[in-house]
Structure 1
Amino acid sequence: MFLRFSTLSLAILSTFSLHATEQDIERIVVQGDFRQQNLQQVAGSVAVLTEQDLQRQSAQHLDDALLQFANVNFAAGASRGRFIQIRGIGERSEFIDVINPSVGILIDGIDYAGLGISSVAHPEQLEVFRGPEATRFGTNALAGMVNFTSKNPTFTPEGKISASLANYDSGQLSGYHSAAVSEQLAYSLTLDQQKSDGFIENTYLNRANTNNIDEFTGRFKLQYLAAEQLQLGLTAHVIDQQNGYDAFSLDRNRTTLSDEPGQDKLRSKALALNLAYQGLSVADFNAQLSYLNADSDYGFDEDWSYRGIHPWEYSYQDRYLREREQWTLDYRLVSKPAGLLFGNTDWVFGLYGSTRDLTLERLRRKEDKRERFASALQRRNLSLYGETHTALTEQLSLVVGGRIEQYKDDYLDVASINLQSDKTMWGAKISLNYQLNPQALLYGLVSRGYKVGGINGEALSKAADENFAVLATKASFNPESVINAEFGVKGSSADGSLTTRVATFYMWRKDMQVKGWINPDLGPEFAGFIDNAASGRNYGVEMETRLQLNSQLQLFASAGYLQSRLGHYVTDSGLDLSGRDQAHAPRVNYSVGADWLFTEQLSLQAGVQGKSSFYYSDGHNAKAGSSELVNVRLNYQVQHWELALWVRNALDKDVGVRGFYFGNDPRDEYAPHVYEQFAEPRRIGITASYSF
Structure 2
Amino acid sequence: MVLLTPFARVIPLPETIMRCRYSVVAACILASFAATAEQEPIERLEVQGDFRRLSVQNIAGSIAVVSEQDMQRSSAQHLDDVLNQLANVNFAAGASRGRFVQMRGIGERSEFIDVINPSVGVLIDGIDYSGLGISSIAHAEQLEVFRGPEATRFGTNAMAGMLNLSSKQPDFRRDGAFSATLANYNSWQLSGMFSDAISEQVAFSLTVDKQVSDGFIENAFLERKDTNDIDELTTRARLLYRHSDDLALQLIAHHIDQNNGYDAFSLDRNRTTLSDEPGQDKLNSKALALRSDYSALSGIDMMLQLSWLSADSDYSFDEDWSFVGISPGWEYSYFDRYLRSREQWTVDYRLVSDEQGRIFGNTDWVLGFYGSSRDLDLQRLRRAGSEFREFDSSLQRDNLAVYGETSSALSEQWTLVVGGRVERYKDDYRDSGDLSLQERHTMWGGKLSLNYQASEQAMIYTLLSRGYKVGGVNGEALSRAGDDGFSALLQQATFEPETLVNAEFGVKGAALDGSLVTRVAAFHMWRHDMQVKGWLNPDLGPEFAGFIDNAGRGRNYGIEMENRIVLHPSFILHVNAGLLKSKLGPYVTGNEPQIDMTGRDQAHAPRFTYQLAGDWYLTEQLMLQGSVQGKSRFYYSDGHNARSSGSEVVNLRLSYQLEQWQLALWVRNALDQDTAVRGFYFGNDPRDEYVPHTYEQWAEPRRFGVTASYQF
Shift of 1:575: 0.2
- CA separation of 1:397 and 1:607: change in aligned 2, threshold 3 A: same
Contact 2:127 2:307 in 1 (8 A): yes
Deviations 1:493-515 (A, max 9, x none): 24221000000000000000000
Aligned: 1:136 with 2:156 = no
Contact 2:680 2:696 in 1 (8 A): yes
Shift of 1:522: 6.3
- Give 3-state SS (helix, strand or coil) of 1:549's partner: strand
AA of the residue aligned to 1:360: L
Root-mean-square deviation (Å): 1.0
- Aligned partner of 1:437 among 440, 455, 468: 455
- Give 3-state SS (helix, strand or coil) of 1:24's partner: coil
- The residue aligned with 1:29 is 46
Shift of 1:20: 5.7
Aligned: 1:580 with 2:600 = yes
Contact 2:173 2:197 in 1 (8 A): yes
- Aligned partner of 1:4 among 12, 19, 39: 19
Shift of 1:598: 1.0
- Give 3-state SS (helix, strand or coil) of 1:591's partner: strand
Aligned: 1:599 with 2:626 = no
Structure 1 range deviating more: 10-19 or 54-63: 10-19
Deviations 1:118-146 (A, max 9, x none): 00100100010000000000000000000
Aligned: 1:189 with 2:221 = no
- The residue aligned with 1:657 is 677
- The residue aligned with 2:289 is 272
Distance 1:282 1:555 in 2: 43
- Aligned partner of 1:556 among 554, 558, 574: 574
- The residue aligned with 1:567 is 585
Aligned: 1:282 with 2:302 = no
Aligned: 1:296 with 2:313 = yes
Structure 1 range deviating more: 248-257 or 601-610: 601-610
Aligned: 1:540 with 2:546 = no
TM-score (structure 1 length as normaliser)? 0.99
Unmatched tracts of structure 1, length 5 or more: none
Structure 1 range deviating more: 466-475 or 213-222: 466-475
| 4+ aligned runs moved over 4 Å, structure 1 | 20-23
Shift of 1:466: 4.3
Structure 1 range deviating more: 193-202 or 542-551: 542-551
Distance 2:343 2:331 in 1: 40
Q: Within 5 Å, which residues of 2 pair with 1:474-513? A: 474-513=492-531
Shift of 1:549: 2.0
- The residue aligned with 2:331 is 313
- The residue aligned with 1:202 is 219
Shift of 1:5: 2.4
- Give 3-state SS (helix, strand or coil) of 2:24's partner: helix
Distance 1:543 1:454 in 2: 35
- The residue aligned with 1:48 is 65
- The residue aligned with 1:159 is 176
Contact 1:231 1:276 in 2 (8 A): yes
Deviations 1:553-598 (A, max 9, x none): 1111100000000011111231011000000000000011111111
- Give 3-state SS (helix, strand or coil) of 2:371's partner: strand
- The residue aligned with 2:246 is 229
Structure 1 range deviating more: 58-67 or 72-81: 72-81
- Give 3-state SS (helix, strand or coil) of 1:472's partner: helix
- Aligned partner of 1:88 among 68, 84, 105: 105
- The residue aligned with 1:78 is 95
Shift of 1:26: 5.1
- Give 3-state SS (helix, strand or coil) of 1:309's partner: coil
Contact 1:164 1:687 in 2 (8 A): yes
Contact 1:26 1:492 in 2 (8 A): no
Unmatched tracts of structure 2, length 5 or more: 1-15
Aligned: 1:526 with 2:541 = no
Distance 2:92 2:646 in 1: 15
Distance 1:390 1:355 in 2: 34
Distance 2:37 2:304 in 1: 37
AA of the residue aligned to 1:461: S
- CA separation of 1:329 and 1:630: change in aligned 2, threshold 3 A: same
Contact 2:39 2:513 in 1 (8 A): no
Contact 1:20 1:439 in 2 (8 A): no
Structure 1 range deviating more: 229-238 or 517-526: 517-526
Deviations 1:51-95 (A, max 9, x none): 000001000000000001100000013121110000000000000
Q: Within 5 Å, which residues of 2 pair with 1:64-463? A: 64-311=81-328, 312-463=330-481
Distance 1:6 1:339 in 2: 38
- The residue aligned with 2:532 is 514
Contact 1:451 1:480 in 2 (8 A): yes
Shift of 1:348: 0.3
- Aligned partner of 2:629 among 605, 609, 612: 609
Deviations 1:150-209 (A, max 9, x none): 111001101011000000000000010001000100100000000000000001000000
Distance 1:231 1:9 in 2: 42
Deviations 1:597-625 (A, max 9, x none): 11111111111100000000000000010
- CA separation of 1:138 and 1:23: change in aligned 2, threshold 3 A: farther
- CA separation of 1:23 and 1:35: change in aligned 2, threshold 3 A: farther
Structure 1 range deviating more: 475-484 or 10-19: 10-19
TM-score (structure 2 length as normaliser)? 0.96
- Give 3-state SS (helix, strand or coil) of 1:412's partner: strand
- Give 3-state SS (helix, strand or coil) of 1:123's partner: coil
